[in-house]
Structure 1
Amino acid sequence: MNLPVSYEAALNPLRLRLWSSSNSSSWALSISVVSIFPRTISSSLTPLSHRTQFLSPLRLILCRSRLAAESEIHGSFNQRMVPASLLTAEKEEAKAVLTLFLKKQGFSNAVAARIVNKSDPFVDHLVARLHTMHKSHYLVGRELTTLEIRDALTPYLETLLDEYGETLVDVVENFPNPPVKESQGEDSQSQYTPETVDIYVSPSNVTLDSKKLKALARVSDLNPTGKLPPHVTYLLELGMELETIREVIRKFPAFAYYSLDRKIKPVVDFLLELGVSKSDIPTIITKRPQLCGISLSENLIPTMTFLENLGVDKSQWAKVIYRFPALLTYSRSKLKGTVDFLYEVGLSAEHVGKVLTRCPNIISYSVDDKLRPAVEYFRSLGVDVALLFQRAPQTFGLSIEANLKPLTEFFLQNGYSIEELRTMISRYGALYTFSLEGNLIPKWEFFLTMGYPKSELVKFPQYFGYSLNERIKPRYAIVKENGVRILLNQVLSLSGPEFDKVVQRKLKKQYGIES
């Protein structure tokens, strides 16, 4: 029996060999000399589990191979295209997401911070994923919001937690080299070299994830005719990369067993009929492979009808599904619970439909743990929450302590009143979705050099939505070079030709030149 091709590639460089116990069908690794003792999770990290955990060397090798490969894949975007200041800010954002994730697993603030501070290579890996997932944003100079960063990284961290469980902290801290405790023998130091590593692993210490290995084998092994399985060939024809298919299987092994003719193809054909672009199908499947396992007649179509009755624009289904394919996998009670809450805060049926169409992932937020507390917080500021829901529903998915309160305090500390802040929120609902460290602070510091009164930001809070390096600084440089005075909103919101016209008009007026 052979391991899947991808795993053989990972194991061959280490010259490992497989053997089967004569008394058992289980497989184990055997290399001769040095014994690797099981690694015990530190007692300081007990929130994940109070039980002693043993790291299988095979699991460590596979983990290392996979994460290193992912790092190469996600590092394919040229980071030189990203300004150094933005890169630094994104690292801080990634650290914040990782810290919050660890705290949700039961770690204290101090322990979570200590883990993150020891994990710079893993943080760089997270930022690289951002650059690959949102390449189009960077190419046009658009900066990611805090919410976009969180929504991109949190599912990935959850996937790693599902796969590595109690060993995740070790994976994070030692990325891309998961730790292996060396033998404590007197001569072990001289024997432990990349060329001569010798490992003995008994069958009882090997903990293969057989379900995932079998699932991966279904998409990696060639059939007797030398071809890949039909469902893999079909997905490749749709534009999915083989490594992406494997990543889907690692996250959701059941997908490997879905019938091409009875499950995958009917759902794909249905999505294409709805107007989903063929090029978007791989992204949708990657985001939510479970979608292909849902019955069209019994679940998908009835759920869509239910949502259409709630106001979802049926002509926008292609965009809705691309943005958040998981929407169609939620139960009716979950959908109704969120919709009832939107009615409760004052949205009309028409606006509920628009919110679900524009921001379908709002369904994923817990009403009691996320939406209601955020509503109460904005009401304490005197904000019209129904209007804010219509303009920037994603705001209500942010953490009050980590995101909302710090932004409020930032504006108050810089001389704005609650009334002025309320006006800014009403004029630009997305204001609170931006990172404080990576967006607001650097743009605020540059604003102070521009010579505008602070009240200009109350009139035009959209200033914070423009790229500092790609829009704000270049436009202001032209204004300053020509010695003209232009309103802030005109400096940033006008198209290139219109902006040039305004500058020329100001120059003519300034020097008394008639048109």
Structure 2
Amino acid sequence: MVALLTMFTNPILSSPSSCCCSSSITLLLHPPIPLTTVHFSLSSVSAFHPHEWFSISKFSKASRNELKPLFPQLGLRPTKHISIQCSCINSPTNLHTDIGILFPFFRELGLEDRETELVLDKNPTLALTSLDSIRARVRSLLSLRIDSLTLSYLIIKCPSVLTAEEIDPFICFVRDELENKIEPMQLKHLLTTADPRFLVGFDKKVKLLLDRGVPSEKIGYVLNHVKLAKAVCLRPIEEIDRTITFFSPYGGIDLIVRRPEILNYNLESQLIPRIGFLLDLSGGDKDATGNVVRRLPMILSYSVEHLEGHVEFLRSFAGLNNQEIFKIFLVFPSVVSASKERKLRPRIEFLKQCGLDSNDIFKFLIKAPLFLGLSFDNLNYKLVFLVKIGYKYRTRDMAMAMGSVTRTSCENLRKVIWLFLSYGLSYSDIVSMSTKHPQILQYNHSSLEEKMEYLIEDMGREVGELLAFPAFLGYKLDERIKVRYEAKKKITGEGMSINKLLTVSTKRFSTKKKEKKFLHAVENLTCDEG
């Protein structure tokens, strides 16, 4: 079949009523001949449409160089008459969509004409796709909560989103089954980085995650915190399954839900070696290794080389062995994120200057691991504060006090000191008390105030008794102090030592209380008989 495609400047065809059709192109059918030929005459057209959906006059004035990106991809040569060879038998032409209509259509989507030319150059299939089909695809993309700005970016960056067959099943799954739980920015990144062919099987991989235990209410969180192209689309479903199985002894699917980024890493080259390193450091203790990973799932984002560097530093500079280092990892796994030179070295050096040996450093770090993680400003403020109230610099007492104040805020520390001063204690009294019981510097100031009020108002004691037994402030007011004081007061009166009152074990305290109640009852009985 031969089709002669000629463009006319017929005023009827230019009327507003013709804006919804491509009647500006007239097809003149001729008797069949072996080859289909389309003659497209540019010279015969001076105007296309009054609404300027597509200005053929502007188009014909463009230089040959400007037309090159568009025409060669369409099989057209920018000559006076253009012939297109079509192999289609069932249709008079393969040009299902008039190219001119695409320009105003894309303008509505926010694309400039030069961007539309680029899109057609990248994806010539658009010219062979019906406008209804393109519109339907646009509506589908918008149904994913993708805004118009993101959509125009997608079309320019990856025009195949408008024509690729794999897109529709993907959209249906995300919209209907996942209920649009994937964020638009995640979809934007996925559709611009992954070839549409790799979207095939996306639904099966997500369903695998659900089948293996990811709660349906958490699947959106998981998918929004991974690199979808890398972790899902480009990864075989078998590897995803093996990754979940591998983590069974270390937290399983719960670990992945807490830290979905784990799925970004390669199982063989990254995850297995990193877990293996921690397992070796623990002496083969899978449970302990799992505890470290559960406490800080982000530890798996660090390479084996990075972990080795921190372990070697603690071994060589702090004098710790592998067992001690792993115990520090257990209480403070974030030590691996601390800079060796900016944080670890100067702080361990400070402990050495305070007279602590390797064993002391280990005990200190187990009790006060935050000493390695707090900011310089935070530690500097507290150090200056301790020096001001009377602690001597570079002493063991100073180190112990620093260990205690790492577990409280600068504001709470200031209020605690002010509270002691308001009750008549001096700086030297505070240093004396905190040297005996460093924890008093880290207790909540409101809790301390309640205990001091009870000591003075209800128990009738002097605040000076705290100098001899500052640990009083560490006991729970309602569960220990009040209960024991009220019980003892009924039996022995009020003149008892607060040290003995609180330090005796619960079992022994209960036994003594029963004995004294019995003796008291016997005495009363004897008196009555007399």
TM-score by length of 2: 0.50
**Residues 263 and 489 (structure 1), Cα distance of their counterparts in 2 relative to 1, 3 Å cut:** farther
Tell me, which stretches of 5 or more residues in structure 2 are unaligned?
1-141, 162-166, 172-179, 187-220, 524-530
- The verdict on how the C-alpha distance between 1:215 and 1:17 changes in structure 2, with shifts beyond 3 A counting, is same
For the Cα contact (< 8 Å) 1:313–1:357, is it kept in 2? no
The equivalent of 1:303 in structure 2 is 310
SS at match of 2:225: helix
Q: How far does residue 468 in structure 1 lie from its aligned partner after superposition?
A: 2.3
Alignment match, 1:328: 336
| 1:489 paired residue number | 499
Shift of residue 356 of structure 1? 3.0
Q: Mark the CA change 1:497 to 1:398 in structure 2 (over 3 Å): closer, same or farther.
A: closer
For the structure 1 residues 346 and 466, does the alpha-carbon distance in structure 2 shift closer, same or farther, using more than 3 Å as the test?
Answer: same
Q: What is the Cα deviation at residue 248 of structure 1?
A: 1.8
1:265 aligns with 272
Letter in 1 for 2:241: P
Name the CA distance, whole Å, in 2 between partners of 1:479 and 1:219. 67
What do residues 70-97 of structure 1 show as CA deviations (whole Å, max 9, x unaligned)?
xxxxxxxxxxxxxxxxxxxxxxxxxxxx
Q: Which residue of 1 aligns with 2:364?
A: 355
In structure 2, the partner of 1:120 is: none
Residue 453 of structure 2 is matched in structure 1 by 445
| 1:229 aligns to 2:257 (yes or no) | no
Deviations 1:273-308 (A, max 9, x none): 415854454542244334324443x34334323212
| Greater Cα radius of gyration, structure 1 or 2 | 2
Matched residues in 1 for 2:284 and 2:435: separation?
34
What amino acid does structure 2 have at the position aligned with 1:358? K
Residue type at the aligned position of 1:245: I
Q: 1:280 to 1:386 in 2, by over 3 A?
A: same
Contact kept? 2:250, 2:293, Cα under 8 Å: no
**Which deviates more from structure 2 when the two are superposed, residues 259-268 or residues 272-281?**
272-281
Residue in structure 1 matching 2:424, options 391, 415, 439: 415
Q: Return the alpha-carbon distance in structure 2 between the equivalents of residues 415 and 473 of structure 1.
A: 24
Aligned counterpart in structure 1 of residue 250 of structure 2, from 232, 235, 238: 238
1:390 maps to 400
For residues 46-445 of structure 1, the aligned pairs below 5 Å read 212-214=225-227, 218=231, 229-242=241-254, 244-249=255-260, 253=261, 255-273=262-280, 274-275=282-283, 278-296=286-304, 298-309=305-316, 310-312=318-320, 314-334=322-342, 335-345=344-354, 347-348=356-357, 350-367=359-376, 369-384=377-392, 386-390=396-400, 393-396=403-406, 398-400=408-410, 402-437=411-446, 439-445=447-453
| 8 Å CA contact retained: 1:354, 1:390 | no
Q: For the Cα contact (< 8 Å) 1:219–1:229, is it kept in 2?
A: no
Q: Name the SS of the counterpart of 1:23 in structure 2.
A: helix
CA displacement at 1:325 relative to structure 2 = 1.0
For 1:18 and 1:441, locate their aligned partners in 2 and report how far apart those are by CA, in whole Å. 56
User: Would you say the 8 A contact 2:231–2:263 is kept in 1?
Assistant: yes
RMSD across aligned positions (CA): 4.3
CA distance in 2, matches of 1:263, 1:453: 62
| Pairs aligned (count) | 317
Scaled by the length of structure 1, the TM-score of the pair is 0.51
Q: Deviations over 1:348-376 (max 9, x none)?
A: 55533432343333111233x12233122
| Contact kept in structure 1, 2:245 and 2:252, CA below 8 Å | no
Amino acid at match of 2:387: R
**1:18 aligns to 2:144 (yes or no):** yes
Shift of 1:506: 6.6
Q: Is the 8 A contact 2:292 2:330 kept in 1?
A: yes
Rounded to whole Å, the distance in 2 between the matches of 1:292 and 1:18 is 33
SS in 1 for 2:414: helix
Give, in angstroms, the shift of residue 465 of structure 1: 1.8
User: What is the Cα deviation at residue 413 of structure 1?
Assistant: 0.7
Q: Give the whole-Å Cα distance in 2 for the aligned partners of 1:345 and 1:462.
A: 24
Sequence identity of aligned pairs in percent?
22
| Structure 1 unmatched ranges of 5 or more | 1-15, 31-55, 63-207
Q: Give the secondary structure class of the aligned counterpart of 1:365.
A: coil
Q: Does 1:462 align with 2:471?
A: yes
2:486 paired with 1:477: yes
1:100 aligned partner: none
Q: Counterpart of 1:307 in structure 2: which amino acid? A: L
